[in-house]
Amino acid sequence: FRLGNSSLCPGISRLVLDQLCPAIRDILQDGLRPFKLDLIVGRRSNKPWSVVEAATQP
């Protein structure tokens, strides 16, 4: 079994990419403010990936 190889299970790969990933993105975006105020840069757009990065910091 190789993790990340979509050619081994194309049906599951299609489900993950077409259904699961957009659903996770929508959950993370729900209630996310469009901008974050940054002292140096000013307004910076919030993205769902920022939530993931912040959640993985110790």
**pTM higher than 0.75:** no
Residues with Cβ within 8 Å of 28's Cβ and at least 6 positions away in sequence, in order, are 48, 51, 52
Is 22 or 1 the better-scoring residue by pLDDT? Answer: 22
pLDDT in tens, 6-53: 888 889 888 988 999 999 989 888 888 888 888 887 888 888 888 888
Distance between CA atoms of 52 and 50, rounded to whole angstroms?
5
Question: How many CB atoms are located within 10 Å of the residue 18 CB?
Answer: 10
Residue 2 pLDDT more than 70? Answer: no
CA max distance for the chain: 47
Looking at residue 49, its pLDDT comes to 84
> What does residue 43 show for φ and ψ, rounded to 5 degrees?
-80, 130
Looking at residue 20, its pLDDT comes to 92
